[in-house]
Structure 1
Amino acid sequence: MKFSCIIPLLLSSAVSAIWLDTNNKTTIAEDTALIAKGLLDYYEGYDYGGTIGMFTSPYYWWEAGGAWGSLIDYTFYLQNNTLVPLIKDALLYQTGDDDNYIPLNQSTTEGNDDQGFWGIAVMAAAERNFSNPDESTGKSWLALTQAVFNTMTARWDTATCNGGLRWQIFQWNSGYDYKNSVSNGCLFQIGARLARYTGNTTYSDWAEKVWDWMEDSGLIVDMGGYWTDHGGLLTPGEPYYYIYDGAYVDGNCTNVTKYVWTYNFGLMIAGTAYLYNFTEDEKWYNRTAALLRGSSVFFINNSIMYEAACQGAGNCNNDQRSFKAYFSRFLALTSIMVPATRPTIYQWLVDSANAAAQSCSGGTDGHTCGLNWNATGWDGYYGLGEQMSALEVMQNLLVEDLPGPYTAETGGSSQGDPAGGYATTATDQSPLDLDAGDKAGAAIITAVIGISLVGSAVWLLI
């Protein structure tokens, strides 16, 4: 059943929610199977006129990358290979001619953040030992990730704001004058994960460069020596960070947009956690802890996850309705990379998973998931983002049941190409000099328009 073919307002939310026992893997497996099936109701890849790897309108290409990342983890956590051929087809079809996730079918709509989410998906494929592409394709998950990293670092813009990635690439696209946390956060996390997987400090050096620029530009803000868990508790002397949405290049990035989004926190906290796991440098532990404290802004009564900047006002757009999915995924990865975060994160996931489960009681199937998990039953919202978010928060309860993300030294089988991403179908660009021993390739993107992630939102005052 395609939800584009139903009238949701005629459906009753009184159908019983799926039953979840967060301590019982069988119920988690049964529930996530139903939710994953609902997620794929939005897939158009095998429909007449559809495109492999893409979901139905109005879901953009970037969110497809996010969804495949969710399903890679689903196959891993649930040890369920049913969807492997589907996922592999999607990941390989969308690589583009230069194997850097700049496909021609997205040549007028792709932004830095969009490419980054596909890069994160194939990084997960490498770390999970997801079924490798056939050798005849000449592709590998690690090499595809490296190609994304190389093309993104080549766009590092020192002409304005002393660095940083713009939201867009070409000046004729709306958003070219904006440098946002999601684009830079994707590069930060990919660099951190590549460093851990390969052992190459060039990647971690780049990740640190991104962090320093975001901090210097006011996108990462130390909020001081007090933080609140929104349950009334104030703890003195412990710093916490906020991640703001972005800044305009006019005025040298001093005009900061002070919205906070779950996925920006997720990108950065998982990145710091990977860097701590790789380097054992105490500063990355402290940054992880400060981001975790700041993340409490996204939990009602320090319990149920919600999108603070738009959910309360009821104006979350299609993109924003998927953000909790990535936040759940990245929190779970953080709990593996930095075990001291596990008690807090696990409790957040348990409480949120229980709330999400009771929201998954809508639609004709009786288990369509809603947006507002703190509501009683289904709230009438439905879509790819809602399904993905419920799937992620439930399946990540199993994060400790299987080995953590592999590296090249601990069993990772994907082979790399450190110089991947060079353009062969567009004007060539010389590789970017990283340091004395390493280089990253670069490619020219044809055109970008991006997705409006700033939009109208109501800022939650703390």
Structure 2
Amino acid sequence: MAALLILPGAVPARAETPAWQARAAAAADTLDRTWGTPDGWRASENWQRFPMTDVLMDYQRRTGDPRWSGKIAAAVRNRAGRYLNDDDLWAVIASVDAWQIDHDPELLAWAAANYSRIVTDHWDDHCGGGLWWDPKHSYKNAITNELLLLASTRLYLATGQETYRDWALRTWAWFAASGMIGPDALVTDGLDSQCRNNGAPRYTYNQGMLLGGLNDLTAITGDPQFREAALRTALAATRTLVTPQGLLTEPSGALGADGPMFKGVFVFHLGHLVEAMPDGPERAELRAWLARNSDAVWALSTGGSQPVDGLWSGGSGQVGAAAQASALALFLAAGS
């Protein structure tokens, strides 16, 4: 009977594509059209290929658009140019995440073997524990140990093997006591030769990577304390690591080729945290912050017609694959 009420020639209304999805599609298209290669992208640093791959996996998950599946598969298997332990762990995480999509056993085997090598050769009792950043064992820093935390949780979620869960809890216990997290809940870059907080800038990716590992720990253990710690860092970063207009920025301009990916790492993990949070004032605050940043970056790209500047307030002229992938991560997170 209801069908009889449709007027002849009437066209059913179509739901409009959400703004975040249209923006993400435009950003992904620019990324691949401008910087794409057969096995990844012309990134300024090799390690950036792996978080960029994770961003595109997130695009596929959130939108159902499979256009980039071939590029994802090729990029995650391109393991050239890894030199440091953090390089290896970026690749481990991306490999596990890609395994969750196509279940190629090589991906999981490679990730497990390299994870085992890293913790066996580069975790020791100096500073009471922790993973060294480099094979020469000259620096214990935040990002390497945050990557270890996330690699541990992702391998546990993929395999169910308790050793990975134990390593995740061990890594977090050491990290929380290391002194790298300040009273303001922000993470400093690393430790000095006396195993003290070295006072280096609190870069955005150091905040973001921690959100990912802690969010996973609550999912694995059911203990809300980990996600609550992540929320404290997320709110501290979005309230203080910003321009006067509230746009995410780095505390130092001396970031070189690495820097344009940092903000993308932060918003990628912030988006996953927001997805997991219950409705409430903190979630509303973070969603509003993401929307404000997304609007500003979309305007900066002239409605998607231009590549995105590495500085979200504009003017740096630092465009490239990493800056574009960071914008894509932001647009996706704005849909959380």
Task: Specify which of 397, 411, 432 is matched with residue 334 of structure 2.
Answer: 397
2:179–2:197 Cα contact (<8 Å) kept: no
Structure 2 CA distance for partners of 1:379 and 1:90, relative to 1, 3 Å: closer
Q: Deviation at 1:358?
A: 0.8
Structure 2 CA distance for partners of 1:283 and 1:28, relative to 1, 3 Å: closer
Unaligned segments of structure 1, at least 5 residues? 1-22, 47-51, 95-104, 224-239, 400-462
Task: Give the letter for the 1:304 counterpart.
Answer: L
Deviations 1:232-287 (A, max 9, x none): xxxxxxxx412110123x33x22624310111111112211111122122432432
Aligned pairs for 1:90-239 (under 5 A) are 90-94=75-79, 105-106=80-81, 109-126=82-99, 129-133=100-104, 138-140=105-107, 142-169=108-135, 171=136, 176-221=137-182, 223=183
Q: Deviation at 1:356?
A: 0.8
- Establish whether residue 269 from structure 1 lines up as the match of residue 211 from structure 2: yes
Task: Specify which of 265, 272, 276 is matched with residue 333 of structure 1.
Answer: 272
1:276–1:338 Cα contact (<8 Å) kept: no
Unaligned segments of structure 2, at least 5 residues? 1-14
Deviations 1:21-53 (A, max 9, x none): xx963443333222212222454633xxxxx34
Cα distance in structure 1, aligned partners of 2:298 and 2:286: 18
* Corresponding position of 2:9: none
Identical columns (%) = 23
Structure 2 CA distance for partners of 1:264 and 1:143, relative to 1, 3 Å: same
Q: Deviation at 1:88?
A: 0.7
Cα distance in structure 1, aligned partners of 2:299 and 2:181: 35
Moved more, 342-351 or 352-361: 342-351
Cα distance in structure 2, aligned partners of 1:148 and 1:42: 32
* Corresponding position of 1:241: 185
Aligned pairs for 1:331-410 (under 5 A) are 331-339=270-278, 342-361=283-302, 366-375=305-314, 380-399=317-336
- Establish whether residue 292 from structure 1 lines up as the match of residue 258 from structure 2: no
More helix by share: 2
Structure 2 CA distance for partners of 1:92 and 1:150, relative to 1, 3 Å: same
Q: Deviation at 1:331?
A: 0.5
Moved more, 146-155 or 178-187: 146-155
Secondary structure of the residue that 1:346 maps to in structure 2?
helix
Secondary structure of the residue that 1:219 maps to in structure 2?
coil
Secondary structure of the residue that 2:252 maps to in structure 1?
coil
Cα distance in structure 1, aligned partners of 2:97 and 2:17: 22
- Establish whether residue 56 from structure 1 lines up as the match of residue 33 from structure 2: no
Q: Deviation at 1:150?
A: 2.2
1:181–1:244 Cα contact (<8 Å) kept: yes
2:180–2:197 Cα contact (<8 Å) kept: no
Task: Give the letter for the 2:90 counterpart.
Answer: F
Cα distance in structure 1, aligned partners of 2:276 and 2:119: 25
Secondary structure of the residue that 2:116 maps to in structure 1?
helix
1:355–1:373 Cα contact (<8 Å) kept: yes
Cα distance in structure 1, aligned partners of 2:312 and 2:29: 20
TM-score of the aligned structures, taking structure 2 as reference length: 0.84
1:298–1:308 Cα contact (<8 Å) kept: yes
Secondary structure of the residue that 1:321 maps to in structure 2?
helix
Q: Deviation at 1:330?
A: 0.3
Deviations 1:78-117 (A, max 9, x none): 21111111221222343xxxxxxxxxx43xx511111111
Q: Deviation at 1:198?
A: 4.0
Task: Give the letter for the 1:112 counterpart.
Answer: N
Q: Deviation at 1:359?
A: 0.9
Q: Deviation at 1:178?
A: 0.8
TM-score of the aligned structures, taking structure 1 as reference length: 0.63
1:155–1:165 Cα contact (<8 Å) kept: no
* Corresponding position of 2:249: 306
Deviations 1:116-173 (A, max 9, x none): 11222233334xx42344xxxx524x4444334323322343252222111111x2xx
Structure 2 CA distance for partners of 1:155 and 1:336, relative to 1, 3 Å: farther
* Corresponding position of 1:445: none
Task: Give the letter for the 1:154 counterpart.
Answer: T
Q: Deviation at 1:212?
A: 2.2
* Larger RCO (CA within 8 A; separation ≥ 6): 1
Cα distance in structure 1, aligned partners of 2:42 and 2:77: 19
